[in-house]
Structure 1
Amino acid sequence: MPHVPYRSPSPLSSPPSGPPSRDAVVAALRAAGCVFAEDEADMIIAAAPAPGDIAPMVERRATGLPLELVVGWAEFRGRRITVEFGVFVPRRRTEFLVEQALAQAPGAAVVVDLCCGSGAVGAALADGLGGAELHAADIDPAAVRCARRNVAPLGGRVHRGDLFAALPGELRGRVDILAANVPYVPSGEMGLLPPEAREYEPRVALDGGADGLDVLRRVAAGAPGWLAPGGCLLVEISSRQAESAVDAFTAAGLRTRLAVCEERYAHVVIGVAA
């Protein structure tokens, strides 16, 4: 969702006699700099557990809290993905990774969502495939807890641990789709991220090391031992890192290509096992 560029007192700062009207909510959000104030107002009003919760929710949004954390969910490929404090909020551009995975392996039977965060990618893949065995993994306990809420209804299992160390050994050589939304922001550029990311998302989900590719290289190197014959690894990356990411995939013995969606400014490296 759009960043709130400045913070100002909200017209709802004084407790009203009843729940604020939609017009009052829109005015408060607009005063705080929310570009899509009308849409956000509707989402907040609909998400409020009770009328008395609307004003406090508006106040939290007006002070800069990402809308997804205010309402408790983010939309991803038509699904409502539960999000909570301390968990990476799924980006809409990552839907391109899911699309590429489904196109590459439409009959996938075993799916792994590595560095899963909220589990949005895994949930979307399971939804698109229907009946696939789904596993998700993350090193962050908050992400694991959140992902369980999103993938358990689809029959998915969530594991905690460092990359492949989190996965059950029985998955070796069986994975048809390995989606890894790895952190890829160079450490020295973390301060350039929007405040929503810097202040509310875990560093472990964003910081990819000196050149942003530390985790990607580890995933690429380990993937061949887990992929089924013809199985694919997909990782989102920035445009300026794409060449180095492709090299890492190729060095791991994967048949590699780069998929680009200019409209969403999305770049996905795809590697296929022999």
Structure 2
Amino acid sequence: MRVDEITAKLRRAGSVFAEDEAAIFLEAAQTPAELASMIERRVAGEAPEHVVGWAEFCGVRVVVAPGVFIPRQRTVALVEQAVALCRTGSVVVDMCCGSGALGRVIAERVPGVTLHAADVEPLAVACARENLAGLGNVSEGDLVDALPAQLHGRIDVMVANVPYVPHDKLRLMPAEAREQEPEITHDGGSDGLDVYRRLVSAASDWLAPGGSILSEISDEQTDAALAALASANLRARTEYDDERETTVVIGTRPTQQTS
């Protein structure tokens, strides 16, 4: 089957990036039968990343199994802010790690970091263990409860792509995300920051003096997120990425406790 034929079929099914997806399927398929299966799965509404089994993120291909959150390109801004805070020897945690994509990129861009990752979803943990093999340790559990005790007070950078969609806005998300990714990876509660507040409150003591926690949020959540960091006695700031229209909120533990 030619690329133009595949493109036309995908476009009729409603694919916005039909030509790009056709090229990906042609590259990934080993046989005509496998190619036909990929096309049919996509036409049926399955995400192209789940169809081929990987997603490209920051120039790295990460394994993404069906039912696992697909890393978004806007999250590149979060990774870049985290990388800027890392040094060789930094203790780094990829919290709510999903496939482990963020931790994978950080470890490749800053060789010599000590990487840990954690997620509550078993499918995500399995993916992350594959993506982070030889690069870091992956634990299953709820937020900081999943972390090894020896990390308490020693984390230099915690990058946390927490769910931040307000519950009543979940229905407005694209069908692919609603139907093929766990709701827990999107649902941030009434204002979208329930998980974020829980994490910030619990994680502040896990940071080393001068250590930071970074998360991606929406613009309208900025004030509430900054207030949550202040309540956890963290110095709070935001960084905005114009190109990706992404807001990153950063909380840093003071190097000395104030009285």
TM normalised by structure 2 equals: 0.95
Counterpart of 2:156 in structure 1: which amino acid?
D
Pairing 1:66-85 to 2, within 5 Å after superposition: 66-85=47-66
- Offset of residue 31 of structure 1: 1.8
Equivalent residue for 1:28?
Answer: 9
Counterpart of 1:21 in structure 2: which amino acid?
R
Please identify, of 218-227 and 32-41, the stretch whose mean Cα deviation from structure 2 is larger.
Answer: 32-41
Unaligned runs of 5+ in 2: 255-259
Tell me the distance in 2 between the aligned counterparts of 1:64 and 1:194: 11
- Offset of residue 226 of structure 1: 0.9
- Kindly indicate whether the alpha-carbon contact (under 8 Å) linking 1:119 and 1:150 is maintained by their aligned counterparts in 2: yes
Please point out which of 93, 116, 120 is paired with 2:101.
120
Counterpart of 1:128 in structure 2: which amino acid?
R
Tell me the distance in 1 between the aligned counterparts of 2:61 and 2:39: 20
Counterpart of 2:52 in structure 1: which amino acid?
V
- Kindly indicate whether the alpha-carbon contact (under 8 Å) linking 1:81 and 1:118 is maintained by their aligned counterparts in 2: yes
- Offset of residue 37 of structure 1: 1.9
Matched, 1:240 2:216: no
Tell me the distance in 2 between the aligned counterparts of 1:137 and 1:86: 17
Tell me the distance in 2 between the aligned counterparts of 1:108 and 1:205: 30
Counterpart of 1:127 in structure 2: which amino acid?
E
- Kindly indicate whether the alpha-carbon contact (under 8 Å) linking 1:114 and 1:163 is maintained by their aligned counterparts in 2: yes
Equivalent residue for 1:260?
Answer: 240
- Offset of residue 25 of structure 1: 1.2
* Deviation digits for residues 233-256 of structure 1 (CA, Å, limit 9, x no counterpart): 001101111110011011111111
Please point out which of 144, 155, 158 is paired with 1:175.
155
Equivalent residue for 2:80?
Answer: 99
- Offset of residue 24 of structure 1: 1.8
Matched, 1:215 2:195: yes
- Offset of residue 45 of structure 1: 1.0
Tell me the distance in 2 between the aligned counterparts of 1:77 and 1:21: 29
Please point out which of 181, 201, 207 is paired with 1:201.
181
Tell me the distance in 2 between the aligned counterparts of 1:75 and 1:196: 17
Tell me the distance in 2 between the aligned counterparts of 1:146 and 1:204: 17
Tell me the distance in 2 between the aligned counterparts of 1:110 and 1:69: 31
Tell me the distance in 2 between the aligned counterparts of 1:69 and 1:88: 10
Q: Secondary structure at the match of 1:134?
A: strand
Q: Secondary structure at the match of 2:132?
A: helix
Counterpart of 1:186 in structure 2: which amino acid?
P
Counterpart of 1:99 in structure 2: which amino acid?
E
- Root-mean-square deviation (Å): 1.2
Tell me the distance in 2 between the aligned counterparts of 1:186 and 1:35: 26
- Kindly indicate whether the alpha-carbon contact (under 8 Å) linking 1:105 and 1:231 is maintained by their aligned counterparts in 2: no
Please point out which of 140, 150, 162 is paired with 2:131.
150
Tell me the distance in 1 between the aligned counterparts of 2:18 and 2:194: 39
Counterpart of 1:265 in structure 2: which amino acid?
E
Q: Secondary structure at the match of 1:264?
A: coil
- Kindly indicate whether the alpha-carbon contact (under 8 Å) linking 2:86 and 2:110 is maintained by their aligned counterparts in 1: no
Counterpart of 2:221 in structure 1: which amino acid?
Q
- Offset of residue 107 of structure 1: 4.4
Equivalent residue for 1:56?
Answer: 37
- Offset of residue 36 of structure 1: 2.4
- Kindly indicate whether the alpha-carbon contact (under 8 Å) linking 2:87 and 2:113 is maintained by their aligned counterparts in 1: no
Tell me the distance in 1 between the aligned counterparts of 2:219 and 2:55: 25
- Kindly indicate whether the alpha-carbon contact (under 8 Å) linking 1:236 and 1:269 is maintained by their aligned counterparts in 2: yes
Please point out which of 167, 170, 173 is paired with 1:190.
170
Q: Secondary structure at the match of 2:240?
A: strand
Q: Percent identity?
A: 53
- Offset of residue 216 of structure 1: 0.4
Please identify, of 239-248 and 219-228, the stretch whose mean Cα deviation from structure 2 is larger.
Answer: 219-228
Matched, 1:250 2:227: no
Tell me the distance in 1 between the aligned counterparts of 2:36 and 2:106: 36
TM normalised by structure 1 equals: 0.90
Q: Secondary structure at the match of 1:116?
A: coil
Tell me the distance in 2 between the aligned counterparts of 1:93 and 1:130: 24
Equivalent residue for 2:140?
Answer: 160
Q: How many residues align?
A: 254
